[in-house]
Chains A and B, each alone.
Chain A
Amino acid sequence: MYVAVKGGERAIDNAHAWLAEERRGDLDVAELSIAQIREQLSLAVNRVMAEGSLYDPDLAALAIKQSRGDMIEAIFLIRAYRTTLPRFGATAPVDTEAMACDRRISATFKDAPGGQVLGPTFDYTHRLLDFALAAEGDIPEAPQSEPRTEVTPHITEFLNQEGLIQTEVSSDDVPGDLTREPLELPSSRPLRLQALTRGDEGFVLSMAYSTQRGYGRNHAFVGELRIGKVAVEMDIPELGFAIEVGEIELTECETVNQFQGSKTEPPQFTRGYGLVFGQSERKSISMALVDRALRWQELGEDNMGAPAQDEEFVLYHSDNIQATGFLEHIKLPHYVDFQSELELIRKLRREAMENINPVQEAAE
């Protein structure tokens, strides 16, 4: 434990004043605007929105500026702000089938209706530093083709038509909300997905990677990955009907995994699912792999004792704000605790010395 201590106010004020100065950096360099961060560091903004669990690009950009680019600190600021907002309600579940796709690829079907649309991807770049970006310059406009106007169907639906993959049974159940009630175990798949979508990208990535390396292997194919905008619709009680209250960018990943079957059911592919705010491809694939690993019980698989199969391990360690809060608190004053430790070790040493040199002491 740590105890409240008084004093240090002046030191704290001065530390914060210096922090503000360091944050600004060299005054000869132009100051960053929120709009610049929002437009030009948009993937950082996306990560802060996803893990901060609040979709608001301007706020996320402000948090990144305030935190000097420390992503977890920025996420912390967003989480803290989020708790001050009254909640007006919940939206209807977003219809990802109706997404206006900037990107849509499948690793399972080359000729999927709607095609393989690469979008603004880092894939196939050479990962060589582009020194041209160090200089200012105009960017030529990206080429355009005849736009697709039809809805782009989900690829798993084609498998579903043949009965080759498990059906996701639709319902209108009200999902549990771990921002309102503490997480209890065993949890449910909706709660697990809520925890994973706001979980730390690095943690979820490592958990997913561990399943690929054999710790709870589940043979995932990326059936589909899509990125784009969806409308958000909400019932407005005073109007008596639903309206679209906004539009958000999402990344959705559906994995197709190996089979489940039984004496009465023929084998079927199984699914993992990832859905994350913003353009968050790595996180969304990771989420789908970990979701699938955590479903071992429901799908009648063996518990291999793998970390990614352990709901308690994954869910209680995925949140970087909880983790950093507990980790960083040990740097705060623990003077009283440590004082008792000091006294204890002095006593233990005294007793040990007496045991080592009893004769000498007797002689004295």
Chain B
Amino acid sequence: MALNIEGTIEGSSQLIGGDFTTAGEASTLLKVKLTELGVAEDIIRRAAIATFEAEMNVVIYAAAGWLHYYISPQGIRIRIEDMGPGIADIGLAMQEGYSTAPDWVREMGWGAGMGLPNMKRNSDVFTIDSVVGEGTTVEMVINFP
């Protein structure tokens, strides 16, 4: 597979808390960019899932956030920073099935406690930092084969 990447290609999207109508747009932009660059389909799929889940978390829990991506010949790095309530117990939040989402969000089929585990599963490197009352930053790296 010939990758058409020189240096680092960067992009950013602003994420708005509570805006379910635009959720998925940032991951779509990343998907389009990766497709343009000739990245393998399974890598694109992993990046898209991880990014979409991260976007949803900002939409569901935070007031606002940013998504930044950096694509290099080695892989993709995605960083999501939000101004949200923060996560008190990250270990608990990472557990499949654990969620603090309100009922109306669960009725939409979100908030099943699968978001963070999905993000981790689709990343080669996954880090999460959170300060209660300030916000959460997630960084995910997906390496090219």
Pair from one complex: no
Binding site for A on B (CB under 8 A): none
